[in-house]
């Protein structure tokens, strides 16, 4: 067996950790690419560097694991991965064990992997985690024409003054979705419209008079000066009383046209495979197709 050293991350690890995460994403499809700015943002806005355990071989980073239990005991998503050439050496097992040890018996750690990643699924089950949900990652080729969609609601571009109304619509629109956890306004605003990845120029809302009733908010995957190859529509929702009036379809069509005009090559979104609102059909009608599925595991409830 190889000699592996484990240690907590520090701010000085931001750049090498970003490179490690990007290589893992490129070679395994696990996680998402990151820049040094992304890691610094995460270390300052969401958790301290000590929430990350690093695995080193010969002084080189080969694996990482993130765990930061929520103060309220709610669901907490774990990140991590191991370089392909170092898999099968017990590194992933050690990192996952450490991650789960950060939670008390009532904690709710959540881990996901691609549906094709049989090795990770076996590891998660070995630690007693169970499959709870599948999610579709859907993408749209911007070369395809926009599918026309209309609504009697008014579609308008995002404006900073909309934030509180967006928060109200977000809490109601996602209230019945799987795993939703209500958040106070300031916490929500910090994670969504104030996120450095937010693309306000590609984000829109639907209004019924003075009521903001639906929205589609877009983000780039990473904080970087380079133009994004993919823009992600991370939140799309309609408040319950206004469903069935074409808001989602009209918002998607507007975002697609705006993204095409901005030179965005691809749009993407993530959707619950068991979404009860018919969202998958709406996305398919707008031209989105499934690229892959992720499976989400948790402790038995």
What pLDDT sits at residue 177?
79
User: Whose structure tokens read 């599925």?
Assistant: 293
Angle in degrees, CA 72, 233, 297, rounded to 5: 45
Backbone angles phi, psi at 177, to 5 degrees: -80, 150
pTM of the shown model:
0.90
Answer yes or no: are the C-beta atoms of 185 and 219 closer than 8 Å.
Answer: no
What pLDDT sits at residue 161?
95
What pLDDT sits at residue 275?
82
What pLDDT sits at residue 73?
66
Q: What is the mean pLDDT of each run of 10 residues along the chain (301 residues)?
A: 94 97 90 90 91 97 94 84 95 97 89 95 96 96 94 97 96 84 88 91 98 97 82 95 96 98 96 88 97 95 79
SS3 readout for 172-184? HHCCCCCCCCCCC
Answer yes or no: are the C-beta atoms of 248 and 288 closer than 8 Å.
Answer: no
User: Whose structure tokens read 């693309």?
Assistant: 199
User: Hey, how many other C-beta atoms are within 10 angstroms of the C-beta on 228?
Assistant: 19
């Amino acid at each position: 067996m190889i000699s592996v050293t484990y240690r907590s991350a520090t701010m000085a690890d931001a750049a090498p950790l970003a490179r490690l995460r990007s290589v893992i994403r490129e070679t395994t499809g696990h996680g998402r690419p990151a820049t040094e700015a992304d890691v610094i943002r995460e270390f300052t806005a969401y958790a301290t560097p000590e929430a990350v355990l690093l695995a080193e071989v010969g002084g080189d980073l080969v694996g990482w694991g993130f765990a930061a239990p929520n103060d309220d005991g709610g669901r907490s998503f774990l990140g991590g991965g191991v370089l392909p050439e170092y898999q099968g050496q017990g590194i992933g097992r050690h990192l996952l064990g450490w991650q789960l040890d950060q939670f008390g018996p009532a904690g709710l750690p959540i881990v996901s992997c691609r549906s094709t990643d049989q090795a990770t699924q076996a590891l998660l089950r070995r630690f007693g985690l169970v499959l709870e949900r599948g999610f579709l990652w859907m993408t749209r080729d911007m070369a395809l024409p926009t599918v026309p969609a209309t609504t009697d609601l008014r579609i308008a571009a995002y404006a900073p003054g909309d934030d509180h109304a967006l928060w109200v619509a977000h809490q109601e629109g996602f209230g019945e979705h799987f795993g939703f956890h209500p958040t106070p306004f300031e916490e929500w605003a910090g994670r969504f419209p104030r996120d450095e990845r937010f693309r306000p120029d590609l984000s829109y809302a639907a209004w019924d008079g003075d009521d903001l009733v639906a929205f589609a908010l877009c983000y780039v995957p990473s904080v970087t000066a380079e133009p994004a190859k993919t823009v992600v529509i991370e939140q799309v929702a309609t408040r319950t009383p206004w469903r069935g009036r074409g808001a989602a379809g009209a918002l998607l069509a507007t975002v697609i046209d705006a993204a095409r005009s901005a030179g965005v090559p691809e749009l993407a979104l993530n959707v619950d495979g068991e979404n009860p609102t018919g969202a998958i059909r709406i996305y398919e009608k707008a031209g989105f197709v499934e690229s892959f599925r992720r499976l989400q595991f948790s402790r038995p409830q």
